[in-house]
Amino acid sequence: MFKFFSKKQGPPLHKIETVIGSNTSFNGHLKCDGHVRIDGVCEGGVIETIGNVVVAPNARVAAKIIADHVSVAGEVTGAIHARGRLEILNTGRVSGDVRVANFYKDEAAVLSGRLIMGEGSGALPDNETSSPVESTDENTGATATTDIQKAQHI
Asked whether residue 6 is assigned to any structural domain, the reply reads no
Encode pLDDT of 113-122 as tens digits. 999 998 654 4
Give Cα separations from 81 to 1, 58, 63, 122, 143 (angstroms): 22, 21, 11, 10, 25
Asked whether residue 145 is assigned to any structural domain, the reply reads no
Tell me the whole-structure pTM to 2 decimals: 0.72
Asked whether residue 140 is assigned to any structural domain, the reply reads no
Which three-class secondary structure state does DSSP give residue 3? coil
Contact 91, 107 (CB under 8 A): no
Question: How far, in Å, CA of 120 to CA of 144, rounded?
Answer: 27
Asked whether residue 122 is assigned to any structural domain, the reply reads yes
Asked whether residue 139 is assigned to any structural domain, the reply reads no
Asked whether residue 4 is assigned to any structural domain, the reply reads no
- Of 25-29, 94-98, 99-103, 110-114, the poorest mean pLDDT is in 25-29
